[in-house]
Structure 1
Amino acid sequence: MDPIQHIPLDQIDAAALPRDRLDLDPIALSDLTLSIAAHGLRMPIEVFPATGPLPYGLISGYRRLIAHRELNQPTIPAFIRQPADIPAALAAMIEENEIRAEITPWERASILLTALEHGHFATLDDALPALYPTYDRFRRARLRAVVEVVQHFGPTLTEPLSLSQQKLTRLAAGLRAGLGPVMDVALAESSDRSPATQWSLLSAILDEMEEEARHPPPPYRKDRPRHYLRTAMSLTIRRERHKDGWLLRFTGRDASGPLMEDVMDYVEAWLGGGEGGELPDGSAVWHLKNRCGSRRPGG
C-alpha cells in the first residue's frame, strides 16, 4: 500500500479534475469539519502528480480538503496515486465517490458531459464504460437517458439535483417523444421557478403522454395534437391535461381580461348555442388580429 504523505494544502489543485459532486451540503460539511477538529482525519485524501500550476491534483476527498482549509490546517494526509491518464483519474474519483457519497443521477450524467466537453473522451460510448465500468447494460441505458435530460434542461431547472431517477427517466421519455419544445414553453411562460411548480408543469405534459400511450386517442388531423400556439409575439396559448378535464393557459403581455372575455364569447357562440362565432369589430381579439397580422403555430 502506498505510504501516507502530509501534503501542504496550497500544493493541491482541487479543480484538476471535473467533480461529480455539484453541491455540498453545508450541514454535512460542518459536521465533518467538527469531527476532523475533534478526532483528526480518519481517511486520507487521494491526489496525483499534476502538470498544472500546482504539483498535485485532487482525485478523491474534496469535502475533507475543504474541511482542512476551513480549519486552517497547513497539511493534509494523502495517498499519492499514479493514474495512467486523466480519464483513469476520473474513473478513480467516481469509484471512490460511488462508495462513500450519495451521488445523484443528475451529477453522474453531468460528470460524463463535463468529461466530454474537456476532451477526455471522444464520445459518450467511450466515456460510459470507462467511468462506470461496473454498470450493466440497463444502468448504462438509464444513465444515457439522464445525460439527454441534463443536456436539454441543464440551464432551465432550478434544483435539478433533487430529481429522482424515476422523474428523470420520465423526462427523457418526453424528450424522445418530441415534447421538448412544449416543456420548454411551459417552463419559460411561468413566472414561478420553484422546483415544485416546475415539476407540476412538466408532469402534466408527461401525464398526458403516458395516458395516450395507455389509451391511444382517435386519429387527429395532420400535425395534431397541437400542444401550444403562439398567436402573437406576446401571446402564447398552451393546452394542458388536468385530472378534471383540460386547461388552456394564456400567457404573455396580451393575455388580458378583455381578451379572455372575447374568448369566452367565442366559445359560447361556438359551443353554447350562439350563432356564427364571430366577434364584433372593436373587441380585444379583433384589435389583436389587426395589430399582429399573423400567427406562429407551436408544436
Structure 2
Amino acid sequence: MAKRRRLTPARPDFFSGDPVPAAGAARAPIAQVAGDVAMTAAFEEVQSELQTAHREGRMVLSLPLDSVKVDYLIRDRMACNSEEMDALKESLRARGQQAPVEVTDLGGGVYGLISGWRRLRALKELHEETGGLARFGQVQALLRLPADRSAAYVAMVEENEIRADLSFYERARIVVKAVSEGVYDSDKQALQSLFSTASFSKRSKVKSFMPLVQALDGVLRYPALIPEKLGLALSKGLSEDTGFAKRLTADLKPGADMSPEVERKVLEAALSPKTSPAPKAPNPQKSEPVSPHGAPSDMPDPFMIATGIRISARRGRVELEGDGVNPGLIERLQDWLRSQG
C-alpha cells in the first residue's frame, strides 16, 4: 500500500496578493513584557546609581551662587590676602573653576557652605565685575552629608589646614566660636575634635592663643597678622594680669583708624616694661650707716631697683629677687664683677 503524503495548507495570500507578516515579525506578549521589565530595571539601576553618587558626593553639582549660604558655619578664615585673591580670580578667568567647593543640603534648593570660601567669594566678585556673566554665576560643588554640625566644622578646618595658611589666632577663634555656638561643650572637646590630626605642639599653641581671642576679639583690627611670638606673649599677659585687657583695649582706641603696622606697635608697646618710679630719697634727718662708696650699707627692706628686680642688702650680703633675675642678668652681673678686678 502506497504511503500517504501529508499536504501543506495553501498560503492564504497566494491569490489575494496581500502580504502576510513573516514568521517572527510579531513578538509574543510574554516577550514584550519581559523586554519592558528589563528596560525599566536598567533605568532604575542607573537612576539609583546616580542618586547614590549625588548623595555620596561623587557627582559635581552646578549651583547658583545665591543658593549657597556662606554663613552656614562660622568661618575660620578671617581675612583674605588681596594678592592671593587676585591670583585666584585670574585663574578662574583663564581656566574656570578647577576644584569644587563642598556644601551640605539644607533643603528647598538651599545649600550651606562647608569649605571653599575663597573660591565662592572670587566667583561672586567676578560675576559682579563682569556685569553678571553667566559662566561666573554658577559654582561647582560636591554634596556632603555630615552627621552633625560638629562634623561639618571638622571638615571645614581640615580642608583649610591642607589648603590655607591660617594664623594661630584664626585657629583659636574657631575653637572659641564653636563652643559659644553650642557645637561643643568645652574648649578642650572643641580643640581635640577640630584639630585631632594636628601635633600636640600645634594644639598647645592654638590653646595658648585662646585667652587673646576671648579678651580682644572684635577689638583687634588685624588679628590674623599677629605673629606667633607676640600672640603668645599677649595671651600670657592677659592670663597673669586681670587689668591688662582693659588697658590694651584703651590703647587700641576702638573705632579709630589704625594701620596694621600701628596696631602691632601698640601691642608690642603694651608688653614693654614700664619705667619704674625712682625710689624715694633717704630721709636726711635719719642717720644711716654709709658705705665707703656713699651708699647705705644696710637696706633690710627690699625695694624695686629696676623693672622686675628688687634688692636688699646687709653688711657683707646683697640679695636680688624678682622675675627680672634671670640667667641673662646673672651673666651680665658676673661680667661686671669681674671687670671690677
> TM-score of the superposition, structure 2-length normalised?
0.56
The amino acid that maps onto 1:67 is A
The one-character-per-residue Cα deviations of 1:122-145 (angstroms, maximum 9, x if unpaired) are: 111111111111123332221112
The amino acid that maps onto 1:113 is V
Match of 2:211 in 1: 148
Q: What is the number of equivalent residue pairs in this alignment?
A: 216
Matching of residues 1-299 of structure 1 within 5 Å: 2-50=58-106, 55-69=110-124, 70-71=126-127, 72=132, 73-178=136-241, 179-188=244-253, 193-208=258-273, 216-218=308-310
Identity, % of aligned positions: 30
CA distance in 1, matches of 2:223, 2:117: 21
Report the CA distance between 1:78 and its aligned residue.
Answer: 1.3
Work out whether residues 179 and 190 of structure 2, in 8 Å CA contact, stay in contact via their aligned partners in 1.
yes
The amino acid that maps onto 1:107 is E
Summarize the Cα distance change of 1:118–1:197 in structure 2 as closer, same or farther, 3 Å threshold: same
Summarize the Cα distance change of 1:219–1:193 in structure 2 as closer, same or farther, 3 Å threshold: farther
CA distance in 1, matches of 2:174, 2:104: 19
The amino acid that maps onto 2:148 is D
Which of the pair has the greater relative contact order for Cα pairs under 8 Å at 6+ separation?
1
CA distance in 2, matches of 1:176, 1:134: 27
Gaps of 5+ in 1: 226-299
Report the CA distance between 1:167 and its aligned residue.
Answer: 0.8
Work out whether residues 17 and 59 of structure 1, in 8 Å CA contact, stay in contact via their aligned partners in 2.
yes
CA distance in 1, matches of 2:137, 2:251: 51
The one-character-per-residue Cα deviations of 1:54-88 (angstroms, maximum 9, x if unpaired) are: 52111111121122222343422211111111110
Summarize the Cα distance change of 1:203–1:26 in structure 2 as closer, same or farther, 3 Å threshold: closer
CA distance in 1, matches of 2:156, 2:177: 14
Report the CA distance between 1:153 and its aligned residue.
Answer: 1.8
Work out whether residues 101 and 119 of structure 2, in 8 Å CA contact, stay in contact via their aligned partners in 1.
yes
Structure number with larger C-alpha Rg: 2
CA distance in 2, matches of 1:197, 1:9: 37
Q: SS where residue 218 of structure 1 aligns? A: strand
Summarize the Cα distance change of 1:218–1:17 in structure 2 as closer, same or farther, 3 Å threshold: same
Report the CA distance between 1:188 and its aligned residue.
Answer: 4.8
Work out whether residues 168 and 205 of structure 2, in 8 Å CA contact, stay in contact via their aligned partners in 1.
no
CA distance in 2, matches of 1:118, 1:149: 19
CA distance in 2, matches of 1:31, 1:151: 34
CA distance in 2, matches of 1:98, 1:29: 18
Report the CA distance between 1:154 and its aligned residue.
Answer: 1.9
Deviates further, 57-66 or 193-202: 193-202
The amino acid that maps onto 2:264 is W
Report the CA distance between 1:181 and its aligned residue.
Answer: 4.2
CA distance in 2, matches of 1:153, 1:141: 20
CA distance in 2, matches of 1:217, 1:46: 56
Work out whether residues 157 and 195 of structure 1, in 8 Å CA contact, stay in contact via their aligned partners in 2.
no
Match of 1:267 in 2: none
CA distance in 2, matches of 1:13, 1:188: 34
